[in-house]
């Protein structure tokens, strides 16, 4: 995100103020931080995906869905709520739930008070897979993240990511969030 080759000195005569405004390019230090962040996120996601594929035959996002269902009352959530908690699109959730159903780890139930609504329910078999997989997954997370950071760094990371996440989830109507798509 460094500045590209210089643009012509003057903005188009019929251009708006927004078109002629110079982008806020990242400084060299911001560029370093951004690239380090992206490399870390990409490598961490790959590391956790490989561990879960090896140990349970599922991607990281599916594991996260099973965890959210296990933590829910009666191990069930409305599909729309599960999409919001997982921060994924409804179509991605539907595909994931179909795969988890095929494995016998989740089942869908119709919502009695909403003909179009459905619940995702964690089955006993899905809970057992989660119980068997969790120790290895926690160890992978611990080795990849927490064992490398001091307690102060852990606290800072948590605060930073909370601020980033909150900033990307505006409360106003019409926000373009994955679970609303």
CA dihedral sign, ordered 45, 51, 54, 58: negative
Per-residue confidence (pLDDT) for residue 175, from 0 to 100: 76
CA distance 64 to 141: 13
3-state secondary structure the chain: CCCCCCCCCCCCCCCCHHHHCCCCCCCHHHHHHHHHHHHHHHHHHHHHHHHHHHHHCCCHHHHHHHHHHHHCHHHEEEHHHHHHHHCCCHHHHHHHHHHHHHCCCEEEEEECCEEEEEEEEECHHHHHHHHHHHHHHHHHHHHHCHHHCCHHHHHHHHHHHHHHHHHCCCCCCCCCCHHHC
CA distance 162 to 61: 19
- Stated pTM of the model: 0.83
* CA distances from residue 92 to 78, 88, 98 in whole angstroms, order as listed: 15, 6, 10
Asked if 11 contacts 19 with a C-beta cutoff of 8 angstroms, the reply is yes
CA distance 67 to 122: 9
Per-residue pLDDT 10s for the chain (181 aa) are: 655 544 444 444 555 555 668 999 999 999 999 999 999 999 999 999 999 999 999 999 999 999 999 999 999 999 999 999 999 999 999 999 999 999 999 999 998 888 788 999 999 999 999 999 999 999 999 999 999 999 999 999 999 999 999 888 887 767 788 888 7
Per-residue confidence (pLDDT) for residue 114, from 0 to 100: 82
Per-residue confidence (pLDDT) for residue 19, from 0 to 100: 66
């Amino acid at each position: 995100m460094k500045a590209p080759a210089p643009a012509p000195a003057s903005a188009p005569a019929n251009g708006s103020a927004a078109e002629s405004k110079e982008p806020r390019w990242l400084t060299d230090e911001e560029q370093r931080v951004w690239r380090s962040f992206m490399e870390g996120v990409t490598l961490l996601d790959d590391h956790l995906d490989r561990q879960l594929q090896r140990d349970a035959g599922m991607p990281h996002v599916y594991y996260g869905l099973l965890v959210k269902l296990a933590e829910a009352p009666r191990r069930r959530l409305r599909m729309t709520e599960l999409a919001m908690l997982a921060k994924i699109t409804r179509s991605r959730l539907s595909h994931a739930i179909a795969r988890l159903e095929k494995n016998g780890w989740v089942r869908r139930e119709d919502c009695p008070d909403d003909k179009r609504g459905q619940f995702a329910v964690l089955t006993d078999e899905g809970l057992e897979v989660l119980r068997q997989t969790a120790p290895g997954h926690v160890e992978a997370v611990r080795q990849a993240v927490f064992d490398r950071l001091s307690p102060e760094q852990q606290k800072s990371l948590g605060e930073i990511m909370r601020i980033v996440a909150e900033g990307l989830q505006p409360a106003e109507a019409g926000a373009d969030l994955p679970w609303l798509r």
